[in-house]
Amino acid sequence: MNYFRTALLLAGLTALFMGVGYLIGGGSGAVIALLVAAAMNLFTYWNSDRMVLSMYGAHQVDQHTAPDLYNLVAELAQRASLPMPRVFVMDEAQPNAFATGRNPENAAVAVTTGLMQQLSREELAGVIAHELAHIKHHDTLTMTITATIAGAISMLAQFGMFFGGNRNNNGPGIIGSIAMMILAPLGAMLVQMAISRTREYAADNLGARIVGQPMWLASALAKLENAAHQVPNMEAERNPATAHMFIVNPLSGHGVDNLFATHPSTANRIAALQQLAAELGTQTAPRPAGASYPPRSPWGGSSGPSAPRGPWG
């Protein structure tokens, strides 16, 4: 999806925000909603990374506090021709990860403790490469702004039920308020979904090319999908508008139809990666988690800028 389409989707979210404002307060409500949406976009442009990282209690690590993780991110960033992002760890049992930041120069990659514990280094490399692909595609700003506005629309729609008034007072009335509570968050969810699903396929493809082994990411996705249904991420459950930022949907999904999922089918993503592996002639499966590693990079120990040596040797 190109940037023009992304801009249209963000404009759609802003229009939804204005529509809810109009239903609550008429013309003046729409103007106020527009100003609030503009302020939110400006604020999240400069503070998107800090907002979401703080929400999930992520703490920054470096080469001294988490050398293996930090060095892996550094190696992959070099392979992707990206500046070194900041690296964060979330104390969360569910294996998952996301990237954030307004541009590649101010980006951050955050992974959960569960991700580091349950994946092999090769699978972890596939996940981190996927997040770096989001950074390279400049997805992180769009995804964070979308989450912020979508969450605000949901809250505003809830307020509409209490402050909508009645038709004589230029409010939407009780029926309009109920409809607004249902349709406004649904519309925001659909736009949010349209942004996320397309970009996940693109990030999978580029991430697989960064590591050169699509099956590493495919194996990681299978594990993450299975774990997401078994290990709840309570912070994500409390903030569902941020679910699309993660590599796999962190929500339990109980009672939610797949039509409204924020991510494409994991099975379809794995199938696309398998097809890419066949095209590239790379069908190498990752080592099991906890397996010993030889003193070489997981990319075969070749040297040069296209495959620098990693933290293993």
Extract the annotated binding site. 130, 134, 200
Q: How far apart are CA 184 and CA 13, in angstroms?
A: 10
Q: How far apart are CA 87 and CA 311, in angstroms?
A: 16
Candidates 43, 87, 84, 25; CA nearest to 62 is: 87
- Which sequence positions are flagged as catalytic? 131
Question: Is 248 within 8 Å of 228 (Cβ atoms)?
Answer: yes
Buried b / exposed e over 124-155, threshold 16 CB at 10 Å, is bbbbbbbbbbbbbbebbbbbbbbbbbbbbbbe
Look-up: residue for tokens 């903030």?
A: 239
Structure token digits, residue 177: 């308020």
Facing residues of 61 across strands? 87
Collect all residues with Cβ–Cβ distance below 8 Å to 61 and sequence separation of at least 6: 69, 70, 87, 88, 89
Question: Residues at the annotated binding site for Zn(2+)?
Answer: 130, 134, 200
Question: Is 107 within 8 Å of 127 (Cβ atoms)?
Answer: no
Helix (H, G, I), strand (E, B) or coil at 89: strand
Facing residues of 99 across strands? 109
